[in-house]
Amino acid sequence: MKQVTLNLPLDIEEEEVKLYLAMKLFEEGKISLGQASALAGYSKRAFMEILGKHEIPIFDYPAEELERELGNA
């Protein structure tokens, strides 16, 4: 693993930075749900709930593809 050192403003906690970094990397498809939850320091279940609160989808499934599949069912 790589290590990054940051100088943060005093009012921002390290845990908050880890959480937001994990959410963004997951949202961009750079890391898996398991990797993101580990980076943020949460269980997968708790991390999924946090993603929901931030309106970040857990599944990357295009609406067009879902409509096409439902039409074929």
With 60 as the cut, is the pLDDT of residue 9 above it? yes
According to the model, what pLDDT value does residue 11 have? Answer: 96
Q: Is 70 left (phi over 0), alpha (psi -120 to 50) or beta?
A: alpha
**Which residues lie closer than 8 Å to 60 by C-beta, 6 or more apart?**
29
With 90 as the cut, is the pLDDT of residue 66 above it? no
Q: pTM for the full model?
A: 0.80
Mean pLDDT of all residues in the chain? 92
Give me the residue spans of the domains in the chain. 14-72
